[in-house]
Amino acid sequence: MKREILVVDDNSDIRFLICNILKEKDYSVRSAANYDQAVFEIKKKTPDLAIIDIKLDKGDRDGIDLLKLLIKINKNIPVIMISGHANVQVAVDAIRLGAYEFVEKPFSSEKILNYVKRGLESLSLKDERENLEGKLFHSFDFIGKSALILKVKKIIEKLSSADSRVLITGPTGSGKELVARKIHKNSSRSKHPFIVLNAALLKEKRYEKELFGEEYEDGLVSYGILEKANKGTLLIDEVSEVPLETQASILRVLIDQKFKRVNGSKDINVNIRIISSSSKDLNHLVANGDFREDLFHRLNVVPINIPSLQERTEDIPLLVDYFKKKLSEINGVPEANIDSSNDLLFTYDWPGNIRELRNLIERITILSVNENQSNINKILNDILTQSSSSNLSTNDLNNAMSFPLKEAREKFEKKYLLNQLQKNHGNISKTAEHIGMERSALHRKLKSLGIKGIN
């Protein structure tokens, strides 16, 4: 598909020259002589790239105003500003406002073509990155056979024939977005968009425009996330971070299934499935008045809790073997020979959960190319040992030091044995054999530590 370029210059000779240069290279080109004509062309279709003269005769608005407008509509559009009268400060200001490049007149055809080529390549890379991120999430499977994960999988399966709102809770890195994508993929909305709003990354003043879009004086429209997600699924990631004022607006959309754009007067009807996620306790936030109770109940129709990796250590071998194969394919390198039964994998706390494990496997996969088994084990041990040390805070050390020796030893033994039991799926005989204890002695030790069983 041809990329569309909009050329805006009040000088007809220069406009004609640039258009011909681009058409000779088989670009689809439209042109405008002033701000109003440019707005008319943008209304018809937003261009993939724009070349705009800073000084535009006729009218109060110039090329800088047009640049600001295009950036509002789509910040990814490369805009090349041109001028024959500009100084260094004008050029700096244009770049600061979001222009991709600044070209001073007179310019050669090679220069303008080079900037256009680079600008469109930049746009393609951004598009490809967004597509790749989506494909990567879709390509990853939700791995695990622990009781907690099987429960989550069963809920996902049941949701395939329903259109209920879902609230996914769990610690950071546990796989909440992956679960949301699986729900969307299995639903009747799978052929429509899956849009993510990361509430933790937005500035408070941007929420309304990001959600509802905006209408400008010239009749141009910047579409918000709700319109982009129409007929599909919207994931509000870290919904706890949405400001209270915006929570009221979201609640109104859930009730009415319609909204108005910022500065707009017409109702926009939408049909969206809302999935929310949070790593915070929303019940606690509701009790403190930091999250609307009525919105919480609207979002929490089907709750799903994703356990931390520490709660499902029996899944670690499955996850390690899966990520080894998957990440070697993605990175185009041989599969790393990582021992999925390595004790460190089970005793490490995994504060970053599944995401941290995946990153670890990817790191080792890349670092272990052409390395022997002993070196691979050393890389794994070094990374986890270093991470354990860095995650142990001064308070943790002070707390540990405050216990009497007997109590400190009991705490360590309890944690160690729980990890070993989880690693061996609760099998007492296998655990006893692995740690070098008699089965009966292990039973007595578990009883003395108050360990009754493993789920």
DSSP letters along 247-296, please? Answer: HHHHHHHHHHSEEE-BT--SEEE---EEEEEESS-HHHHHHTTSS-HHHH
> Would you give the DSSP letter of residue 240?
G
**How many other β-carbons are positioned within 10 Å of the β-carbon of residue 302?**
16
Residues 209-234: pLDDT tens digits?
A: 899 999 887 778 888 999 999 999 99
Residue 113, pLDDT above cutoff 60: yes
pLDDT score of 20: 94
Task: Please choose, from the candidates 314, 336, 332, 312, the residue with its C-alpha nearest in 3D space to the C-alpha of residue 324.
Answer: 336
User: Does the pLDDT at position 49 exceed 90?
Assistant: yes
Q: Which residue has the tokens 């062309």?
A: 41
Q: What is the average pLDDT across 101-117? A: 90
Greater pLDDT, 169 or 86: 169
Q: Looking at residue 241, what DSSP letter applies?
A: G
If one compares 63 and 377, the residue with the highest pLDDT of the two is: 63
201 vs 278: which has the higher pLDDT: 278
Give the pLDDT score at 338: 86
Report residue 312's pLDDT band, with 50, 70 and 90 as the boundaries: very high
Average pLDDT over residues 351-358: 91
**For 321-334, how does the pLDDT look when each residue is reduced to its tens digit (9 = 90+)?**
999 998 888 888 88
For residues 23 and 1, what is the distance between their CA atoms, to the nearest angstrom? Answer: 15
What average pLDDT does range 112-129 have in this prediction? 85
Beta-carbon contacts of residue 454 (< 8 Å; ≥ 6 apart):
418, 421, 422, 425, 426
Average pLDDT of the segment spanning 55-81: 86
Least confident of 4-18, 46-60, 272-286: 46-60
The model's confidence at residue 340, banded by pLDDT at 50, 70 and 90, is: confident
SS3 call for 455: coil
Q: Look at residue 389 and tell me whether its pLDDT is greater than 80.
A: no
Q: What is the mean pLDDT of residues 410-415?
A: 72
3-state secondary structure of 212: helix
Sheet architecture: strand order including 302-305: 194-198, 233-237, 273-278, 166-169, 302-305
Q: 30: helix, coil or strand?
A: strand
SS (HEC) of 103-149: EECCCCHHHHHHHHHHHHHHHHHHHHHHHHHHHHHHHCCCCCCCHHH
Instruction: Identify the band that residue 397 occupies on the pLDDT scale cut at 50, 70 and 90.
Output: very low
Q: What's residue 43's pLDDT?
A: 87
Q: How many CB atoms lie within 10 A of CB 338?
A: 21
Domains of the chain: 4-110 (3.40.50.2300), 132-305 (3.40.50.300), 309-392 (1.10.8.60), 395-448 (1.10.10.60)
Q: Is the pLDDT reported for residue 81 higher than 80?
A: yes
- The per-residue pLDDT for 401 is 53
Pick the most confident of 7-21, 82-96, 375-389: 7-21
Q: Is the pTM of this model over 0.85?
A: no
Average pLDDT over residues 85-103: 83
Per-residue pLDDT for 249 more than 70? yes
pLDDT at 117: 92
User: What number is the average pLDDT over the span 69-95?
Assistant: 84
Query: Looking at the predicted structure, is the pLDDT value of residue 443 above 60?
Result: yes
pLDDT of residue 435 exceeding 70 = yes
**Which pLDDT does position 394 carry in this prediction?**
43
Burial label, 26 (beta-carbon count in 10 A; 0-12, 13-18, 19+):
exposed
